[in-house]
Structure 1
Amino acid sequence: MKIIKLQYLLLFAIVASLYSCDDDDELYPQLGEDPRNLSEILSETPDLSVLYQALVAADLDSTLRETSTYTVFAPTNAAFEGVDLSSLSEEERQNVLLNHVINTTTADFASTLSTGYLSTMATGPEETNLSLYVDTSNEITLNQEVSLVSNSSDVGSTNGVLHVVDGIIMPPAILDHAEANPQFSTFTEAVEMAGLTDALSVMEVTDTENPNYPLTVFAPTNAAFENLMMQLNGAFGWSSLSDIPTDVLADILQYHVIGGENLVAETLANTEQTPMLGETFSIDADGVISDASYSTSNVTVADVQGTNGVIHGIDKVLLPNDVFQSILDETLNLKDRLQDRGYTSFLAAADKAGLTSSLETEELSVFVPTNEAFNTFFSTIENFESLDDFDTAEEIELLKSVLEYHLHAGTVMSSALTDGPLSTVQGDEVTVETSEGRLVPSYEYAPNANLQTTNIGAMNGVIHQISNVLVSSEDASALGYPVPATGAPEFALPVYYDAVESGFQDTWDGWGGTYTYDNTENVSNGSNSIKLEYEAGSYGAIQIGGPSPTPDLSSYSTFHFSAYGAPGSGTTNVLVSLCDCDAGVEIQVEEGEWTTYSIPISNFTDTSLGAIRFKNNDEAASTIYVDDIGFDLQAPAAPTFDLPIYYDEGTESGFNDTWDGWGGTYTWASTEQVQDGTTAVKLEYDADSYGALQIGGADPVPDLSGYSTFNFSAYGAPGSGTKTLLISLCGCDAGVEVQVMEGEWTDYSIPLYSFTDTSLGEIRIKNNVSDSYTIYVDNIGFNQ
């Protein structure tokens, strides 16, 4: 594999005419009463005449007359037989000669040579001196090719020492060095098996345009490869290099090679390197190399310089991420793999719920929420603030159920997921939406979970990272998972919302019908309404008993309520009274729709409030529902934000409201549906466009490190159903999903740690489904 020989095909300059030898006593005169310099010794030694003539022709003989100290490895005349260097340039011939000369402070006698590297006066890339490998383990050899001639060493001179050698020491390339040092024999074998010989043989003299010249190679020692094979044998049963797939071996080796740079050790500290494979590794101030694995590597042999680059010997095979992860896939069970990936919240919960053994032994697919997702989960549910709050056997069983809702029996890779229900160990199902890359839990008010990192393998299954904790309908109530705020009216004097309030009495049920105070069939807001089933001919009435003491209604201006006519009822005339009497105001309740009524107090002739009546003013039987009863509708106070973005007609804090996004129509000052103030943003998304409202970032961009939540409110227009929005705080799609409910305002407070990018190039509110629909957004801002 002598790369240089293919180019140099040596012979030193011009070989002199045939020569003859004198007696042995005259061949190697020693330093005695007539001391000579190295050049003189060479010129007067017949068996070194070809070398001397080559030095003269290259104008290097004078160098060996200087007063510096040199060690010269001098090839015999026989070493030059049959070799012609006439095709080499003058510079190349000089480099071959200088590769036999060491410029040193103390002459290197044979007895003081040790196994290792010396630097010759020949040069490689960037004028670095080439390395020479000396092996003294048996006889002394140089680059494993040239040996010292017996009884011809340690020829002293006034400026150094000369050793006669039996061959020419060619300037070595990287692979020549790897071949020469037995420590790198496995590395050399691996290079050949992976088909990378040509890639590591790039030479400037043959390809001046090659961007990979020169090379820096981090070559693992044989011991390092032994350790790797132990890992690979444990994971895959591979016992030798030949068992490793060629593409895997090639990836590993290319992770050790940096093209286009001759990086010597002193330049490596505190750097990040990008090898041929593309994936980076880092080197710290002490020269310790960190790859994708969890153990580091040290440089054991530095700056072995060749003609096409430099080698650094290292004590560990560096592993790119894919290779390292595949090893972990085959050697760690699910519990250890989860620990390895840092899913500590899930593991702590599994330990408390008694599921650790299942993760170690059963074949499972784990949909694991991030630690941040657990933080959000505990800040959302109302019955538990942390894992520590699960104390009783019943509560721990609930925790187990929550976790088992994230487990699927058997291994299912992401490519095998299909749209529709996916069974869980808990028993309830989650719904897979492959096009959106998410899981939809059975509890309608819990957030969907995006699939973030998939196919993390383990010995007994697979792990998929998800963005939220999944909540099933079975567990939601016990967890205290809240129903989103519905946008119900707030009253100065509330009478009924889900139940009779403020001291009013729900036991005074009137006459001529049946009255249900906790009906759930038709509800305007919240979970309950009052159902009034009037009997025919009775002019029945429900009476809500007045509180004691009786409020003074002179301080109020309006009486509010909502009513709905049951199918088949037609229009029902209802007399509304604020007294235990028939002095009131008649209204019409329409069949099949909720109507909100706001009646001025001044319209009532009697406001003694002995009772509040809703009386059937017709003879016919009918059924109606009444909800949201109270005096003086109060507009809730607009939220205050530490960093406001939108409230009424425009953006604030320097944000730009003219950047209107794509895929729809956006009205900044709509008055159709408003949560607070007088306006909201209306977003009419187009179908299949995945449109987005973009609120341009402020200049200068605010530093969000001092804030904790992003807040806004949204309302789904009638017919929109429940839709998914992607909220992001960057000019990108890295964000958090939320669900917008039809017909109600929902307030959102999203922890900033839920966002992976908070660069605030813009705020996006993006349609994350392919449907067309309309929503309204109000009250946008950040809080500390």
Structure 2
Amino acid sequence: MMNKFILKITKLLFLSVIITTVFACDDDDNRIIEGTNSIVNYMEREPRFSLFHELVVRTELDAVLDGNSGTYTILAPNNNAVETYLAENSFGSIQEIPEDLAFDLVYYHLLETINTQESFTTGYLRTLSEIPVTDTTTTNLSLLVNTANNEVRFNGDTEFVNANIEVDNGMMHEINKMMALPSLETFMQADSNLTPFYNEALANNTDFQGYLSSEDYHTILVPSADNFTNFWSNNSFTSAEAEQFFNYYVQDSLNITSRVNQGYINTKASVNLDNEEKTLPIYLNTQVGLLLNNTSSITVQDIVTTNGVIHSLDEVITLPTLADFMYADLELTTFVEAISRDDMTTENYLERLNNTNSTNSPFTIFAPTNQAFEDVLLELFPEQNASLEDIETLDLVSILNLHIAENLNLELDDYTSSTVNTLGGTIEIDTTIPSVTDVNDREALILQQNAIQTLNGVFYKIDTVLLPQL
């Protein structure tokens, strides 16, 4: 509650500072002529806004919204709209609305820049209402605008009654509904680009409604309507597969794009291996926009609600295989180059790592990073500027096989053996460091404690390429 109070005061002070008071002075006596048509002045004169004006006064934002200069746009619900909101939410009066909610409601109807009826375009706008991201940072709630059929609608069902009411400190629009603060479900229902995915998720995932209505933050990824509809109509899933498919688009916590880092993010999806549910992550590449699993980009980002955020995607993402992450991970491009080299086709590395029905799966991969390959080339060819192509075919097969183990979904925390049997022979493993060691006593550090899980196995990044007997 204290954090919320501090945020409210901070917002109030911020808005107070950015309001510029314009003075009209004559040359003789420098008289100050005050404006008389601010947002607050207009609502005071017009009885149909008396309830919303009462809400503004209750939150002590009347001082902020007064004055004869500013660039606000306010979507002002009339009394009928406010009365409907009060009745639908079981409030007997404006005074019964909790203080925090009252404050946020006013700000949710307020935009920072002037928008005329004609300037609104379909998409999302940032309101001045905020939710906390951390103890010290906030982000703004989104407002959906739809201008189809030459009509302006907000959040699917709110329309203008009177538009383009000019006031001294911005622009006012009378609307026919007081908008509730949006939840994830608000936009999933109102945005036609999200609804096909939403409808199928509700029908095929028993947890999805809970994600949308939870008070805890969730991040929802949603493929565009056209791409999802085409994909869904051309694929069939068992009920269990559909459940996990939709879970893969959900993450715990509020992952707005300004705060996410390149790498793996856990989802709500899992795969059952060894009679245990293993969480499936998704890989985010921030170097080429916001690319997920090397497949789908975030095209509409940070649709912020009171209980989470939605990101719209341009393509559908399926549950990941080892091959999917090998291709997606920017630290493993040389490893992919090695296993996909033309003379490696007989080994079928990529086909094996993409196969979810193999009798040899799950696989455990120890994947050397790009730097590890640079280092081993210097080690193997100290007298020349060598590349991957300088490693002979049979030698490369022997090297790669040391990094692949079959019928093993290795988890460091519960692995009791001191060795791992790979396709290329036995390597030593120390799960406490953690590291693996080849027959030449060359130690490769495992660069993360937790396995990166896929449908057909796990992989660990290592800092050294393992070598057969030198």
TM-score band by shorter chain is: 0.5 to 0.7
Which residue in 2 is equivalent to 1:280? Answer: 281
Q: 2:238 aligns with which of 220, 242, 245?
A: 245
Q: 1:166 aligns with which of 173, 176, 182?
A: 176
Distance 2:233 2:428 in 1: 40
CA deviation map 1:185-226 (0-9, x unaligned): 11210221122343323544xxxxxxxx21111111112213
Identical positions, percent: 20
Q: 2:196 aligns with which of 186, 194, 199?
A: 186
Matched, 1:89 2:98: yes
User: In structure 2, what residue type is equivalent to 1:274?
Assistant: N
Deviation of the 1:111 alpha carbon:
0.9
Q: 1:271 aligns with which of 260, 263, 274?
A: 263
Higher relative strand content: 1
SS of 2:419's equivalent in the other structure is: coil
Distance 1:112 1:454 in 2: 49
SS of 1:176's equivalent in the other structure is: helix
Distance 1:227 1:371 in 2: 31
Which residue in 1 is equivalent to 2:419? Answer: 733
Q: Is the 8 A contact 2:419 2:428 kept in 1?
A: no
Distance 1:466 1:143 in 2: 46
Which residue in 2 is equivalent to 1:122? Answer: 129
Counterpart mapping for 1:480-491 below 5 A: none
Deviation of the 1:112 alpha carbon:
0.8
Distance 2:74 2:197 in 1: 31
Counterpart mapping for 1:6-405 below 5 A: 36-66=37-67, 67-81=69-83, 83=86, 84-85=90-91, 88-104=97-113, 107-126=114-133, 127-138=138-149, 139-149=151-161, 152-193=162-203, 194-204=205-215, 213-229=216-232, 231-232=234-235, 238=236, 244-260=237-253, 262-277=254-269, 278-284=279-285, 285-291=287-293, 296-321=295-320, 348=346
Which residue in 2 is equivalent to 1:509? Answer: none
Change (3 A) 1:113 1:35: farther
Deviation of the 1:57 alpha carbon:
1.5
SS of 1:320's equivalent in the other structure is: coil
Higher relative helix content: 2
User: In structure 2, what residue type is equivalent to 1:217?
Assistant: I
CA deviation map 1:111-154 (0-9, x unaligned): 111111111111124221100001111221100121101xx110
Distance 1:59 1:100 in 2: 15
CA deviation map 1:280-301 (0-9, x unaligned): 222222234333xxx6111111
Deviation of the 1:80 alpha carbon:
2.4
SS of 1:65's equivalent in the other structure is: coil
Deviation of the 1:453 alpha carbon:
8.1
User: In structure 2, what residue type is equivalent to 1:245?
Assistant: T
Q: Is the 8 A contact 1:456 1:463 kept in 2?
A: no
Q: Which moved more, 1:163-172 or 1:87-96?
A: 87-96
SS of 2:267's equivalent in the other structure is: coil
Q: Is the 8 A contact 2:184 2:213 kept in 1?
A: no
CA deviation map 1:254-278 (0-9, x unaligned): 1111102x22222335232111122
Change (3 A) 1:762 1:137: closer
Q: Is the 8 A contact 1:123 1:130 kept in 2?
A: yes
Unaligned runs of 5+ in 2: 1-33, 270-278, 325-338, 364-374, 381-394, 397-415, 430-434, 441-466
User: In structure 2, what residue type is equivalent to 1:51?
Assistant: F
Deviation of the 1:227 alpha carbon:
3.7
User: In structure 1, what residue type is equivalent to 2:291?
Assistant: I
Distance 2:323 2:240 in 1: 15
Q: Is the 8 A contact 2:427 2:436 kept in 1?
A: no
SS of 1:189's equivalent in the other structure is: helix
User: In structure 1, what residue type is equivalent to 2:240?
Assistant: D
Q: Is the 8 A contact 1:731 1:761 kept in 2?
A: no
User: In structure 2, what residue type is equivalent to 1:249?
Assistant: A
Q: Is the 8 A contact 1:175 1:200 kept in 2?
A: no
Which residue in 2 is equivalent to 1:25? Answer: none
Counterpart mapping for 1:716-727 below 5 A: none
SS of 1:41's equivalent in the other structure is: helix
Distance 1:195 1:215 in 2: 16
Superposition RMSD in Å:
3.8
Deviation of the 1:37 alpha carbon:
0.8
Distance 1:188 1:466 in 2: 32
Change (3 A) 1:181 1:733: same
* Count of aligned pairs: 322
User: In structure 1, what residue type is equivalent to 2:51?
Assistant: V
Change (3 A) 1:60 1:35: closer
CA deviation map 1:540-575 (0-9, x unaligned): xxxxxxxxxxxxxxxxxxxxxxxxxxxxxxxxxxxx
User: In structure 2, what residue type is equivalent to 1:254?
Assistant: N
User: In structure 2, what residue type is equivalent to 1:195?
Assistant: T
Structure with more contact order per residue of length (Cα contacts < 8 Å, sep ≥ 6)? 2
User: In structure 1, what residue type is equivalent to 2:228?
Assistant: F
SS of 2:129's equivalent in the other structure is: strand
User: In structure 1, what residue type is equivalent to 2:255?
Assistant: L
Q: Which has the larger radius of gyration?
A: 1
SS of 2:315's equivalent in the other structure is: coil
Unaligned runs of 5+ in 1: 1-32, 205-212, 233-237, 239-243, 326-340, 349-368, 373-451, 468-702, 710-729, 738-752, 765-780
Q: Is the 8 A contact 1:453 1:466 kept in 2?
A: no
Q: Is the 8 A contact 2:43 2:49 kept in 1?
A: yes
SS of 2:128's equivalent in the other structure is: strand
Distance 1:251 1:74 in 2: 43
Which residue in 2 is equivalent to 1:470? Answer: none
SS of 2:299's equivalent in the other structure is: strand
Distance 2:139 2:259 in 1: 14
CA deviation map 1:382-436 (0-9, x unaligned): xxxxxxxxxxxxxxxxxxxxxxxxxxxxxxxxxxxxxxxxxxxxxxxxxxxxxxx
Deviation of the 1:155 alpha carbon:
0.5
SS of 1:298's equivalent in the other structure is: strand
